[in-house]
Chains A and B, each alone.
Chain A
């Protein structure tokens, strides 16, 4: 069951999206989310959706992989949609007992669901097509001006990298401990919330102990490989904004910003 979590997973590839400078990708995701959150017109949504579809196609990320990542969020999306259907005042379409479904409600529900789906898809697209190390690196570089005001940027990026590296390992270990505790008669699936939370203790204690031991081992291993903080470090993979990067970046940002601005200004309303 834990194997379903694909958060932070990277599928190596050679597509344009994969090769795009991770800094450019981060900025793009930021622009995309901004456009998405300010979108207020069907046409804006359509353009954004097409843009996302294009990105997915070019990246050759399987839509099923995106869907899999979406599954844990399905409930929240559905819940939001349902709430919006019933609680948006407007022109009533159907009405029974105390519930009224308005046309505006349906519209908003669709937009809300679309917004959430695209929001999640876009973040998954980022992690699917960018190696976490590159991502942490890009974050570190984008934030590097902050190092001047003594923000520990390198340490933060390193922590992220290590966390990402160990997520699958720790998940595997969780599965193992769960099986071991089940074999000893532990019961994780029945009882009320309180009982189930309590049943997690024999899972969490060994997990934490194990994680700390790993941290210790890793620290020693890093020292053995001459790690001594961020000073004087170089990177094998240099980030260089190529012409293509700049083109994609400026083009996309202009498109997203433009579309969202036009929608805001009501140009499509005519």
Chain B
């Protein structure tokens, strides 16, 4: 049983959630349980509630296994960021359940446990770094969890090593490049020793070089540390690097499969306002029924095509 995350028919709408969002202020707060109950009042919102009440998530069922890398695609407003915020209980479903390692994200008293299991990294690296020194920022989560100082030191060093930022550990974050800042943010999540690393468009504000750094880091963490990765992205090339692609549209999952499977359905993707990686676009432009994801694959597909065409013609 290596299922690590489970979404069961999850419905969420920001309009309907309005007030219950206040409950996000943390576990154990006296008010949290109460407003949680008041949210029960509108437990069953109409899925197609009008007047701006379009659900951000509309019956999402999803299962992620340990060690997977999942790319979540979708145009703006498709609900992918909401999906990610569900992973660690930042948002809790209006109906349905989200379970992380068997713990429901709605269980107020186990919220810290869930947050520790799912490290979340956001788009803007500037807005998620708390401390003025890199290593102190990485230590932030562990300090919050009440880990003994000596162990914090060890885990911070390990996390910085894992993202390749050891030599910057005494630097001021605002002097780092975007890619470096984002790697610090990843280290900050990684220090918690999470099972899942969830990233919400981690490369959106970075230059190509920073994007490469971040993607390389994330993939290495998956490969070497076995961290499960859930990543929202707009870049098809990044999605192609993942083992699994989930395409969302208007709060629902439309496509779910390996990158090859998903990108082969280019017409459906286009209808959802999405493109395909350039290699796939090229192959399809040639009229091939293939979805090569790497340059080498693409070259081979085209080579086969040209040779096949030549032998058929001659």
Q: Scan A129-146; emit 1 where CB is below 8 A from any B CB, else 0.
A: 001110000000000000
Measured CB to CB, the nearest residue on chain A to B140 is A225
Least CB distance, A228 to chain B, in whole angstroms: 4
Least CB distance, B84 to chain A, in whole angstroms: 10
Which residue, A12, A218, A224, has most C-beta atoms of chain B within 10 A?
A224
A133 is contacted by which of B120, B122, B136, B174 (Cβ under 8 Å)?
B136
Kindly identify, within residues 121 to 137 of chain B, every residue whose CB is under 8 Å from any CB belonging to chain A. 122, 124, 126-133, 135-136
| Pairwise interchain contact A228-B28, C-beta atoms closer than 8 A | yes
- For A185, list chain B residues within 8 Å (CB): none
With A220-B90, A236-B142 as contacts: A225 and B174 at CB distance below 8 Å: no
| Pairwise interchain contact B127-A226, C-beta atoms closer than 8 A | no
Measured CB to CB, the nearest residue on chain B to A221 is B128
- The answer to whether the Cβ of B146 comes within 8 Å of any Cβ in the partner chain is yes
| Pairwise interchain contact A233-B143, C-beta atoms closer than 8 A | yes
Measured CB to CB, the nearest residue on chain B to A172 is B174
| Pairwise interchain contact B27-A228, C-beta atoms closer than 8 A | yes
| Pairwise interchain contact A161-B192, C-beta atoms closer than 8 A | no
- The answer to whether the Cβ of A69 comes within 8 Å of any Cβ in the partner chain is no
- For A218, list chain B residues within 8 Å (CB): 127-128, 130
- For B116, list chain A residues within 8 Å (CB): 226
Q: What's the Cα separation between A264 and B154 when bound, in Å?
A: 52
Interface size range on B against A: 35 or more
| Pairwise interchain contact B170-A223, C-beta atoms closer than 8 A | no
Q: What's the Cα separation between A232 and B90 when bound, in Å?
A: 21
| Pairwise interchain contact B130-A222, C-beta atoms closer than 8 A | yes
With A169-B126, A224-B88 as contacts: A234 and B147 at CB distance below 8 Å: yes
| Pairwise interchain contact A12-B128, C-beta atoms closer than 8 A | no
- The answer to whether the Cβ of B156 comes within 8 Å of any Cβ in the partner chain is yes
Measured CB to CB, the nearest residue on chain A to B124 is A217
| Pairwise interchain contact B144-A228, C-beta atoms closer than 8 A | yes
- The answer to whether the Cβ of A238 comes within 8 Å of any Cβ in the partner chain is yes
- For B124, list chain A residues within 8 Å (CB): 217
Kindly identify, within residues 229 to 270 of chain A, every residue whose CB is under 8 Å from any CB belonging to chain B. 229, 232-238
| Pairwise interchain contact A223-B115, C-beta atoms closer than 8 A | yes
Q: List 30 A-B contacts (CB under 8 A).
A: A10-B172, A131-B136, A133-B136, A161-B130, A165-B130, A165-B131, A165-B132, A165-B173, A172-B174, A217-B127, A220-B122, A221-B127, A222-B130, A222-B140, A223-B25, A223-B26, A224-B120, A224-B189, A225-B115, A225-B140, A226-B145, A227-B144, A228-B26, A228-B27, A228-B144, A232-B146, A233-B146, A234-B142, A234-B152, A236-B135
A-B contacts besides A221-B120, A223-B115, A226-B144, 11 pairs, CB < 8 Å: A161-B131, A165-B173, A168-B172, A221-B122, A221-B128, A224-B115, A226-B145, A228-B28, A228-B144, A234-B149, A238-B149
